[in-house]
Amino acid sequence: MVKIAILGYGIVGSGIMQVLEQNRVHIEKKAGCAVEVKRVLDKRDLSKELPSIYTNDFETILNDDEIQIVAEVMGGLYPAYDFVKQALLRGKHVCTSNKELVIKHGAELLSIAEEKDLNFMFEASVGGGIPVVRPLNTALTTDEIVAISGILNGTSNYVLTQMSNLGKSYDEALAEAQHLGYAEKDPTADVGGFDACRKLAILMSLATGKQVDFEEILTEGIQNINQIDFAFARAFGFTIKHMIDGRITPSGVSARAVPMLVHQSSPIAAVTGVFNGVMVQAKATDSVMFYGRGAGKFPTAGAVVTDIVDIAKHLHRHIQFSWSSEKIDILPFDSYKTRKLVRLRENKTENFHMAIPAYPGQIAWLTQSETDKSTKDSLKGLNVERILRVYEPMETVYDQNN
């Protein structure tokens, strides 16, 4: 019998209780012992709802030596960070769905866990119900990761899919996403690319074993994308997706969370609606993609329970990869060498032999591989409306000196 505490009884917290209850037999078999929720902490008074296990006092949990695993699903940095750190220092394993916590303090918390032969797991913090962190952790054992790319924000992907497939405007598609509960009232974190950027920082930190600061990741949102962009994208055989795109190359590490042109034949182009899809490229295994729902009560709760079971199986051994707090330098924003679509507000075809006029009065063309900086230089004096980068599955190269 292993006893656990759940911090936070919101949508995910109550989902964990339900998943544990409904799958009791399987969980006991897999974990090698029964899993019992001994305490649930929440700031709301739940003493009537959960009479025997509710507490609003973290000390009760901290001082209870029977509790070996703490599942933190409160969200936010405070008091989550203090609670998690104290739990680890007191010898308790922790799993969390809290992206902010992992990106800000993951390195420190993992190093405490490693030192104390504990596990600090966070599968649910990236990609909800899609297994990403665990396979990445496994892949790192036998292979060398060279790229992590794909779609990690369901809200942006829903909006872009509606725009692409049904011809809706950005505002219409966003309003619909809000109506359906796929977007927050203030959608900035999602449509501005910040959520995807943070998830990428976590995955790149795991892949490199060092601290990738999310502030250094080139981040752009989808708010300016319009039907003209889609018309040109289609004319060249692409669609538009909000992509995370991290590369580990001999010349350095790069990372960006930006709208990109994705070729229609790419499996990533087929990731539509609120679904997420993460492509991991490694030297020996080549490309592996994980696809599924990136959010939602039960997918997320299920991912937390998977961590709980994994911890229950390894109560006496740290089994994860860690990342050190040493910062890794990310290549500067303008050193990306990728093809780009350049769109002009006027139809100056005489200068651009390869330009396609997919929209009245406008033209666009695909540049060859040039850095952001050299592209900018060559466009001086032109009436540029939009530059969209092309997602290159394999061959993107970087040049620090340009």
The beta-carbon contacts of 360-366 under 8 Å, at least 24 apart in sequence, are 362/228, 362/232, 364/232, 364/235, 364/236, 365/341, 366/236, 366/339, 366/340, 366/341, 366/342, 366/390
Number of residues that bind a second copy (CB under 8 A): 50
- Give residues with Cβ within 8 angstroms of 37, minimum separation 6: 3, 4, 5, 6, 16, 17, 20, 53
Q: How far is CA 106 from CA 118, 132, 302, 344, 373, in A?
A: 14, 16, 21, 44, 34
Contact between 54 and a second copy by CB under 8 A: the answer reads: no
Contact between 296 and a second copy by CB under 8 A: the answer reads: yes
State the Cα–Cα distance between residues 57 and 60, nearest whole angstrom.
Answer: 6
Structure tokens belonging to residue 264: 């229609």
Cis preceding linkage at 79, omega within 30: yes
Contact between 116 and a second copy by CB under 8 A: the answer reads: no
Scan residues 251-290 and list those touching a second copy (CB under 8 A): 265-267, 269-272, 275, 277, 284-290
State the Cα–Cα distance between residues 211 and 74, nearest whole angstrom.
Answer: 24
Contact between 24 and a second copy by CB under 8 A: the answer reads: no
Residue 327 annotated to the active site: no
Contact between 324 and a second copy by CB under 8 A: the answer reads: no
Among 51, 52, 142, 186, binds a second copy (CB under 8 A): 142
- Closer residue to a second copy in complex, CB, 123/190: 123
- Minimum distance, C-beta of residue 4 to a second copy, in the bound complex (Å): 14
Contact between 108 and a second copy by CB under 8 A: the answer reads: no
Residue in 38, 92, 99, 199 annotated catalytic: 199
- Closer residue to a second copy in complex, CB, 139/175: 139
The window from 45-53, 103-111, 306-314, 391-399 that contacts a second copy (CB under 8 A) reads: 306-314
Contact between 180 and a second copy by CB under 8 A: the answer reads: no
The DSSP secondary-structure symbol of 280 reads E
Contact between 217 and a second copy by CB under 8 A: the answer reads: no
Contact residues for a second copy, defined by CB under 8 A: 19, 23, 26-27, 29-32, 129-131, 134-135, 138, 140-143, 265-267, 269-272, 275, 277, 284-293, 296, 298-299, 301-302, 305-306, 309, 313-314, 317, 319, 321
Q: Which residues are catalytic?
A: 199
